[in-house]
Structure 1
């Protein structure tokens, strides 16, 4: 995974001949870091050696007042090297001094003592390879004890000489915490060994370096005194137009007094650090034993404790918030799961209910369909029986009447002379003696009352032609022959004898040609209001 995938570039905070310095943020947890982007192609062999030395030194240094080194990445394609280090958001001490010059202000003495005590602790870690001892109960330094002597360094411990102490290499973090950095010119030496080469800044060069002597731990103390003096006076303690004049002033070791706003204790400590004879300079262990330094350390511990408590409180709040969000998420998931389960059960219940309703409805429909079919079948059979009974009753009555009549009545008229229905298939379907002319005095029908006509006085006029179908009055239920109709005597005179035509009007219509060809004179009737209904026997 490339750097772009793991880090977000926020801003550019510096640059140099070796590359640029950027502020980046780690994507996984949002941690802010400083990234040095160094190009191998633009570095000389000496610069590469210094970079390698910085790798070695930073990997061995772990202290709250030293810039933390995290890791490095080598980009083979672009031949770049990325160093990820601790980010110091308040800049460096050189910027603070320039701001004071621009505003015409002085640094507060408490701020100066705080910077001084933290730098002493950082140098103690570099010079002795171990962390400074904890501040004891003797806060005011009433007894010297072991603090006045140099600490015992374990055999084989690597001692680090910074060799480039200056305000630009003193970084400030949150709450003005000091972070000593830029160990590119530092050198790791064995205990009690000395470096013979000076590679630092001339303004902070010690007298022994000017005399071409070896570089020792006390050389860093000289540079520390120069930094503190510049922080108070806003200018270096030794300044000149030429390098030769600068060396001469450094060898003399004379400095101007500090402004009156600073205490004599502070001025004396700075003078002790700027002694020409390195043996008379205090080491970091002695400086840590100063009452003010011990007090500053205690105050710093309290500040760090409060900071740690705040960080822990914020961490607990974040965890509490995360737990609350997780609980809320679980509650939402629980509610969603419950709703989904309820919806699933409801859908399942609805499906089962619909299936049960459909089953019951289908069963009821089958029962109703069966009952309907049975009812229809029963009604059809009853209707068939009724119609069959109605159809065969006239034949039985006619047969009974024929059997009751004497033989001579049946022989008086030829059987072929009775009209038959052209629709029926045999003579048994209708009575054979339906003509009014066949009636006699001995007929049993004489006792029956003659049927009165339903015609009203304002009825339709009779036609002039006899036998017109419009004058036919049909008997019910079976059709009657035209010859059996009883016509008015005023129209026709006497009743005509039965014809040999078929016994209904439809058969007569079939023989219309022969019937209507007969020439007959029209006879006027006296009245067409009503027909004469005979009251006697035929």
Structure 2
């Protein structure tokens, strides 16, 4: 398991003399030299604003077996396949015809509070309520009827009539399957039954950062700092240990709980470095996309850093940094400076942090590791209140009040 970078930061709070030059120019990660490999791009007929990646990647090869299992070919060199069925996950070695049945993922085994059973099936989870739904599926709050533990369960309908692989589903599964970072949402179980995939995930009981912003509006700078440190730890792990680019970082995909823990989630758009070292697809939410992504130009880890800056600015302002209706007209060019006049009421360190994230030239953006040593992070390192106290005092009561008001309105309309 990777050690959070922040544990190595000195506790000195004298940051006034720390020059901007201490944040080195972004390199392609230590010793990492990307090979530019452009892929054929064609418009997505389901959404005129998106582009499908037509490159072939063996990590997305899948099939439905005769027994009804969802099989993902993960490693052609060793012959290992992952099978997901109604009884859970199996790791199959096709060369030796052996397999291992797993009741939970490797990621779940790292959670000290997780109480696994010798055998867990899809029927062990009872739906409590629907949390949300979208084009890709739905999310329910569920309870394991044996252990009484509460989880979030994502449901994906796999359409066998579509020839293309369900890349978003497989990408999310691969990203979370063996993740070992406390700031990445944890995957516990996966099941497949009758053309539907189920992923049992950690439940974050305070919802998303988007929910917090909608309820509270502007979030205090010290509180943003507590969230930011955990986001950076998650990004550093993704970029360095997993070689993953999130590509859809935004308030809705950053989850929090009442213990003050922040986790990155929703990896359906993530890019895995393997045969292809640069991505060019237009995927994700345009409001949080870096300039190179808006132009469908090659992008890498530093595109997530731009998304982080836009997300934190939104948390500070209580609204999007860029007007949603104008985001496609933001034609930033290399050498331009992103206007940040709306942040003038915040500390110089915070303004500098956002400016570093929003460097138009992607190579000038610091890495997540470098940002963990920035003046803004050092400024509030030992400050109070804790994120847990702020959420329980300022957010949770307001959220409960909102729910009661909605119930009352619903009751009156009956």
CA contact (8 A) 2:205 2:256 kept: yes
Residue 225 of structure 1, aligned match among 276, 297, 309: 309
Match of 1:128 among 234, 240, 244: 240
Structure with the higher fraction of residues in strand conformation: 2
Query: Counterpart of 1:216?
Result: 300
In the other structure, the counterpart of 2:200 is 84
1:12–1:21 CA contact under 8 A, matched in 2: yes
Aligned counterpart in structure 1 of residue 191 of structure 2, from 70, 73, 76: 73
1:275 aligns with 2:387: no
Q: 1:236 aligns with which of 314, 320, 324?
A: 320
Aligned equivalents of 2:335 and 2:290: distance in 1? 8
| Candidates 255, 258, 262, aligned match of 1:178 | 262
Q: Distance in 2 between matches of 1:14 and 1:54?
A: 18
CA deviation profile, 1:386-421 (whole Å, cap 9, x unmatched) = xxxxxxxxxxxxxxxxxxxxxxxxxxxxxxxxxxxx
TM-score computed with the length of structure 2 as normaliser: 0.59
1:511-534: CA deviations, max 9, x gaps? xxxxxxxxxxxxxxxxxxxxxxxx
Offset at residue 57 of structure 1 (A): 1.2
1:151-170 matches, cutoff 5 A: 158-170=242-254
d(CA) in 1 for partners of 2:324, 2:227: 27
CA-to-partner distance for each residue in 1:120-173, whole Å, 9 max, x for gaps? 0000000001xxxxxxxxxxxxxxxxxxxxxxxxxxxx5100011111100112
Indicate conservation of the 8 Å contact 1:112/1:228, yes or no. yes
- Report how many aligned residue pairs link the two structures: 269
Q: Is the alpha carbon distance of 1:5 and 1:210 closer, same or farther for their aligned partners in structure 2, counting shifts above 3 Å? A: closer
Spell out the pairing of 1:419-430 with structure 2 (5 A cutoff): none
CA contact (8 A) 2:349 2:375 kept: no
State the alpha-carbon separation in 2 of the partners of residues 251 and 36 from structure 1: 43
Question: 2:216 maps to which residue?
Answer: 100
Residue aligned with 1:176, SS: coil
Larger radius of gyration: 1
CA distance in 2, matches of 1:254, 1:187: 26
Structure 2 residue matching 1:174: 3-state secondary structure = coil
SS in 1 for 2:330: helix
Query: Shift of residue 60 of structure 1?
Result: 3.1
Segments of structure 1 that go 5 or more residues without pairing to the other structure are 130-157, 305-538
Gapped runs of 5+ residues in structure 2? 1-86, 88-119, 389-414
Distance 1:250 1:233, change over 3 A: farther
Q: CA RMSD in A?
A: 3.0
Shift of 1:197: 1.6
Give yes or no for contact 2:223–2:387 (8 Å, CA) kept in 1. Answer: no
User: Counterparts of 1:36 and 1:43 in 2: how far apart (Å)?
Assistant: 21
Out of 19, 24, 34, the position equivalent to 2:137 is 19
Contact kept, 8 Å, 1:54 with 1:184, in 2: the verdict is yes
Superposed, which structure 2 residues align to 1:349-428 within 5 Å? none
C-alpha displacement of 1:268? 1.0
Residue 372 of structure 2 corresponds to which residue in structure 1? 288
> How far apart are 1:7 and its partner, in Å?
1.9
Higher relative contact order (CA 8 A, sep 6+): 2
Deviation for aligned residue 1:195? 1.3
TM-aligned CA distance change 1:165 to 1:75, over 3 Å: same
Q: 1:303 to 1:233 in 2, by over 3 A?
A: closer
Following superposition, the deviation at residue 212 of structure 1 comes to 3.5
Indicate if the aligned counterparts of 1:18 and 1:43 stay in contact, CA closer than 8 A.
Answer: no
- The separation in 1 between residues aligned to 2:193 and 2:330, in whole angstroms, is 43
Measured after TM superposition, the shift of residue 290 of structure 1 is 2.6
Q: Is the CA contact 2:229–2:377 (under 8 Å) kept in the aligned structure 1?
A: yes
Alignment of 1:247-258 (within 5 A): 247=331, 252-258=336-342
Cα 1:13–1:264, aligned 2, differ >3 Å: closer, same or farther?
A: same
Q: Work out the CA distance in 2 between the residues paired with 1:114 and 1:45.
A: 44
Partner of 1:345: none
Give the 3 Å change call, closer, same or farther, for CA 36–279 of structure 1 in structure 2: same
Task: Name the residue aligned to 1:199.
Answer: 283
Give the 3 Å change call, closer, same or farther, for CA 277–5 of structure 1 in structure 2: closer
Structure 2 residue aligned with 1:316: none
- Is the 1:90–1:174 contact (alpha carbons within 8 Å) kept by the matching residues of 2? yes
Greater fraction helix: 1
How many Å apart are 1:16 and its aligned residue? Answer: 1.3
Pair 1:303–1:196, CA change in 2 (3 A): closer
Matched residue, 2:147: 29
Task: Work out whether residues 353 and 376 of structure 2, in 8 Å CA contact, stay in contact via their aligned partners in 1.
Answer: no
Distance 1:267 1:242 in 2: 22
TM alignment of 1:287-326, pairs within 5 A: 287-293=371-377
Conserved 8 A contact 1:240-1:246: no
Mapped contact 2:335–2:361 kept (Cα < 8 A)? no
Q: Secondary structure, in 3 states, of the residue corresponding to 1:271?
A: helix
Distance in 2 between residues matched to 1:95 and 1:215, nearest whole Å: 29
